[in-house]
Structure 1
């Protein structure tokens, strides 16, 4: 964490200084926009390929499958969704495992060579561009098996993917932001991510349902992918020319090393041992337990949100009978308010002096409400209610990151966020596997079961935030008690100071008289 802004700055100058810290956030927005825009399209492409190429149904039948409620259509729809879920599993694994391994080396890399931060942030962008080119080829060659889509995850995974992108951003935020602004800064970051996700979801549905830009395509997959490619290129240009704020200086003897020497130094197996140091080092009080529980709570929240994202489109197809356009449109509309709340509410709560742990508790309860409602009320009304009550779910992640940043020392920040990002990666694989398999097994008789399980699991971070909040209240009360001074002692000290400073005889006798009254057993000189 950087030092606070200069004390002589006006409120307006502090606001401008804070905004300067967000000038790289548009890069993150565009990157998330482009990646999310592909999500629905890739799933739709895989489903259409299976329906048309493997099951040999007419194109018109396949494109209206979700709204067709005949018995034959229901059976066909189920088999296609199971295939899409399986493909999603493999896609997550190929994309996540290499990226999590790369992220494990991030802490040492940034600790020793912080001047590489921008290059590390741009690396996932280059991998995403290569992935888009592979997806474009896959869409052009529509007759190729849907399993070929998995090839696009290879460059994305080995370039760090979203894991390296988010962990490097979290490290940058912790480096550049004063402690008192951490919650607001993470909230701003959450806004850019949420807005990028909303824009990607909305635009993908609109572009996908347009008349195909290139003749011979069942749907406008190529249009979506071309727009996504343009966004990624724009993001790279923005990120390349922006100057970072608050990045620590690299040691002189390390700054002069060549790229080859740096890579050789960073990618050593011994770095894994060093990575675990923040979890094993002795900490004052119960900070070690708090840190581990914060990491576990973050993993659970991440898994629930990530698992929901994995099956949300397929869930809407089966349960609500929605098309890609309807899903994209309604998801965007219902998530606009949560995106705004993720920024407004943390700042409002901070102005009201609400503790970070209390903010996290509100977010965890929101996640429980969202999953519980979505699992029980399996219709359009349930979707609206789940998104309404789940609007503050992002507060859990925001507060959790702020708490972690406050527990660890600044020099440990890169390590701890590398651990968290890598753990989140493996949690994403587990969540994708569990969500898709449970949903595939129960979609015909209880499609919301996985959401019921998620709601119960979210009780763990909620309890952790509650315990932290109670501890914070108790600690604050004890601090207040220690600061309280007996009024008689205050008066005695005041009179003593008068005696010492003025040597006034009257003051001395007043002080003598006071001591005889208040402390009769104390000898008076």
Structure 2
């Protein structure tokens, strides 16, 4: 109901949309349409891009902590730091080891170099591939970045086998960035489900993809630490390489095209980047440009708070007064990722009686209450209570992605989700800098202040979504009244 004002752009009937904007042809659609790029095999189940996203997210979540620990070990070996610690949890009386500080600094700096290198290259490539997929099709943008991530894993393995300088990690990251990186896969997957879904079911389909991200992260966090402790770094990275190749193979063999590709579409053209700029620069009927900017702002704030608080959880749990060990930290990580599933179930339930705007607000309330409790948590029970209160946090991001997709033409979905993926990458960089700087600066008066700060920030998207939701409801009421008057 709340999005009926976009009906001038997006037709309500999926079949009419197919005829106007290109056939949504795949082996699983009930209309039986065919595609000019049919995969070699039909869909084995009623799923499409979910396995591609799951496998690539699993590989990403598995390798990120591993290469950070590998950098730590390499720099420790380089400076002669043996890694022993004389103090226990919360023991601040021991002098800080200058070698440990040097290792921490080198590891943090190289993590920053690698992240920035991938983001800067990917910013150009993702927008290019995302907009190009609106004409060339989604499958190629699922396959090529998966192969790019496989090349990155191969470079990392070579570095580990041959003990090459750690600067080669940056080279591997740049190779992945040139192919679109994980952000291109995100953009293609969300654009794909938007192609295949109608306006009613889109929010839930988007939420399923978000749940895939959480489940993949949960399995990777459980497997990665234990495997690295048992067998070192190299064997887990072989699994990273295998999952990236499996994702590319699955996309090639089983994922049907969601739109009709244009054989004359050119990849290297400035029109693709111009299409992304036009999304936010062109005025649209019914104030859609302003809504696009406001919902993007909401998405930026919500994801930044999520990334920033996630970066601090382990540090917060390791130190006094919680003093968690590796086992409790593992349980805490599993509890965080379990909220992706509870959010999916909660979203599906709430959609039966509430509009999407209010579902998003409830999700934000869940996130705010969780962060407030965690900010004052001084016991294990209170910390897990905070995790429990976050059981609906994902509902807000799923609704925001869905609302953004309904504000643009179907032929612009690739460009839209490419820009959203870039915003998500920017969120990771900004939140890491802000929250990691805020944490040590506020330890002297409130250890959990960064979490409280995140809760306050979430009030901004809550107010914006509530305001836009009320406006949309008012517009729907006026349209209904006018229709009744005409009929009478």
TM-score range, shorter chain: 0.7 to 0.9
Moved more, 168-177 or 380-389: 380-389
- Tell me if the contact between 2:347 and 2:392 (Cα under 8 Å) persists in the aligned partners: no
- Tell me if the contact between 1:335 and 1:387 (Cα under 8 Å) persists in the aligned partners: no
Q: Partner of 1:521 in structure 2? A: none
Q: TM-score, normalised by structure 1?
A: 0.76
Q: Determine which structure has more spread, i.e. the larger CA radius of gyration.
A: 1
Deviation for aligned residue 1:294: 0.5
CA distance in 1, matches of 2:458, 2:207: 21
Q: TM-score, normalised by structure 2?
A: 0.82
Moved more, 76-85 or 418-427: 76-85
CA distance in 2, matches of 1:186, 1:448: 32
Q: Partner of 2:128 in structure 1? A: 105
Deviation for aligned residue 1:30: 1.1
* Pair 1:332-2:334 in alignment: yes
Q: Partner of 1:126 in structure 2? A: 147
CA distance in 2, matches of 1:16, 1:447: 57
Q: Alpha carbons of 1:444 and 1:422: their partners in 2 closer, same or farther (altered >3 Å)? A: same
* Pair 1:359-2:381 in alignment: no
Q: Partner of 1:435 in structure 2? A: 435
Deviation for aligned residue 1:398: 0.3
Q: How does 1:94-173 map to 2 (within 5 A)?
A: 94-114=117-137, 117-140=138-161, 149-173=169-193
- Tell me if the contact between 1:295 and 1:420 (Cα under 8 Å) persists in the aligned partners: yes
- Tell me if the contact between 1:356 and 1:402 (Cα under 8 Å) persists in the aligned partners: no
- Tell me if the contact between 1:209 and 1:325 (Cα under 8 Å) persists in the aligned partners: no
| Structure 2 residues without counterparts, runs of 5 or longer | 1-9, 17-27, 33-42
CA distance in 2, matches of 1:374, 1:171: 35
In angstroms, what is the RMSD of aligned CA positions? 3.4
Q: How does 1:238-253 map to 2 (within 5 A)?
A: 238-244=250-256, 247-251=258-262
Q: Partner of 1:288 in structure 2? A: 289
Q: Partner of 1:222 in structure 2? A: 234
What secondary structure, in the 3-state scheme, does the structure 2 residue paired with 1:248 have? coil
CA distance in 2, matches of 1:445, 1:37: 36
Q: How does 1:436-451 map to 2 (within 5 A)?
A: 436-439=436-439, 441=441, 446-451=446-451
What secondary structure, in the 3-state scheme, does the structure 1 residue paired with 2:48 have? coil
- Tell me if the contact between 2:63 and 2:240 (Cα under 8 Å) persists in the aligned partners: yes
* Pair 1:185-2:196 in alignment: no
Moved more, 72-81 or 172-181: 72-81
Deviation for aligned residue 1:330: 3.0
Deviations 1:327-354 (A, max 9, x none): 3343114432x122232122212222x1
Deviations 1:98-157 (A, max 9, x none): 11211121343123322xx21211222222222222323344456x66665444422222
Q: How does 1:375-524 map to 2 (within 5 A)?
A: 375-377=375-377, 380-439=380-439, 441=441, 446-482=446-482
Deviations 1:367-390 (A, max 9, x none): 323333333436544532332122
Deviations 1:471-520 (A, max 9, x none): 2333344345446679xx98xxxxxxxxxxxxxxxxxxxxxxxxxxxxxx
CA distance in 1, matches of 2:267, 2:384: 48
Q: Alpha carbons of 1:302 and 1:191: their partners in 2 closer, same or farther (altered >3 Å)? A: same
CA distance in 2, matches of 1:403, 1:385: 31
CA distance in 2, matches of 1:145, 1:443: 36
Q: Alpha carbons of 1:16 and 1:209: their partners in 2 closer, same or farther (altered >3 Å)? A: farther
Deviation for aligned residue 1:177: 1.0
Choose from 41, 44, 52 the match for 2:66. Answer: 41
What secondary structure, in the 3-state scheme, does the structure 1 residue paired with 2:47 have? coil
Aligned residues: 455
CA distance in 2, matches of 1:80, 1:381: 34
CA distance in 2, matches of 1:102, 1:424: 15
Choose from 200, 203, 228 the match for 2:220. Answer: 200
- Tell me if the contact between 2:187 and 2:417 (Cα under 8 Å) persists in the aligned partners: yes
Which structure has more relative contact order (CA 8 Å, sep 6+)? It is 2
- Tell me if the contact between 1:85 and 1:436 (Cα under 8 Å) persists in the aligned partners: no
CA distance in 2, matches of 1:225, 1:321: 30
Per residue, is there more helix in 1 or in 2? 1
Q: Partner of 1:496 in structure 2? A: none
Q: Partner of 2:267 in structure 1? A: 266
CA distance in 2, matches of 1:156, 1:347: 35
CA distance in 1, matches of 2:109, 2:166: 11
Choose from 38, 43, 47 the match for 1:22. Answer: 47
| Structure 1 residues without counterparts, runs of 5 or longer | 7-12, 213-219, 491-525
CA distance in 1, matches of 2:172, 2:319: 27
